[in-house]
Amino acid sequence: MTTSCVQKKDFVYFQNKKQQATNILADQVQNYIPILKSDDLITIVVSVVDPELAKPFNLLGAVSANSSNSGSNSGGGNATQTMGYLIDANGNIDFPILGTLKLAGMDRMKASEFIKDKLKAYLKDPIVNLRVLNYKVTVLGEVARPGVFTISNERITLPEALGLAGDITLGGQRNNVMVIRDIDGKKIETRVDLTSRDLFNSPVYYLTQNDIVYVQPTTNRMKTTAPTRQNASLILTGVLLIVNTINLITRF
């Protein structure tokens, strides 16, 4: 019975335990909407009834497409690819005609409305479509497939990110997962207990762009790994000793 309880406690997700959230993140709503930050690469497309009138406000680059690099345009010709704006360290972008615009700190909808209001001086009933191109999260540690994952829909939860990484291995701590987030240039660390249902109320349940998730190994995992490394080192030392001995013998 004791072993069974320990297994449930250590491995079953979303149990009824209490969990403390990091205070600095407590004001973030659970209905998560991405907030634009410095180093975000965004695309902004302006549309109006007459497409010609919107052209000066769109960054468009002509890219040659041929059969060697584009299966959808195997007949050749030119394709148009929308270029992106990189939000600088001050939170600004340089927008055609409108000049410098500060977008950092706004969500997508607010940024779109902000640009739309600026465009009304030049266009009638403009439509602004803004997307984040480099929305990604990194998952490291005791997971099946650690790596950097690009998120196309700009919204992902912590369990979903772990799912992309193949879930936590048996050697990972489910009750002590670290999420590292950059807020105003400061790295904020939050510990999360995945075995508690309180995870759903955590300020890091929804991940933001460039979050880092780290799954720490269990004590047993570290104990079993350490001797393996020591044994490998001893074997390597023994092999080198044998090689050196053979070299000495062959010289005489």
Write down the mean pLDDT value for the chain. 78
- pLDDT tens per residue across span 148-207: 999 888 789 999 999 999 999 988 999 999 999 988 778 999 999 999 888 888 889 999
Parent domain of 13? 2-33+135-217
Distance CA 73, CA 54 (A): 26
Name the residue type at position 39.
Answer: D
Is residue 70 in a domain?
yes
**Count of domains observed in the chain:** 2
Q: Is the pLDDT of residue 2 over 60?
A: no
User: Which residues, 6+ apart, have CB-to-CB distance to 102 below 8 Å?
Assistant: 90, 91, 92
Tell whether 51 and 125 lie within a shared domain: yes
- pLDDT tens per residue across span 124-155: 999 999 988 888 999 999 999 999 999 888 78
Contact between 54 and 46 under an 8 Å Cβ cutoff? The reply is yes
Tell whether 90 and 66 lie within a shared domain: yes
Identify the CATH number of the domain in which residue 53 sits. Answer: 3.30.1950.10
Tell whether 24 and 140 lie within a shared domain: yes
Tell whether 79 and 160 lie within a shared domain: no
- pLDDT tens per residue across span 45-56: 999 999 999 999
- pLDDT tens per residue across span 64-122: 333 333 333 434 444 445 578 999 999 999 999 999 999 999 998 999 999 999 999 99
Please state the pTM of the whole predicted model. Answer: 0.65
Tell whether 93 and 164 lie within a shared domain: no
Q: What percent of the chain has pLDDT over 90?
A: 46
Q: What percent of the chain has pLDDT over 70?
A: 65
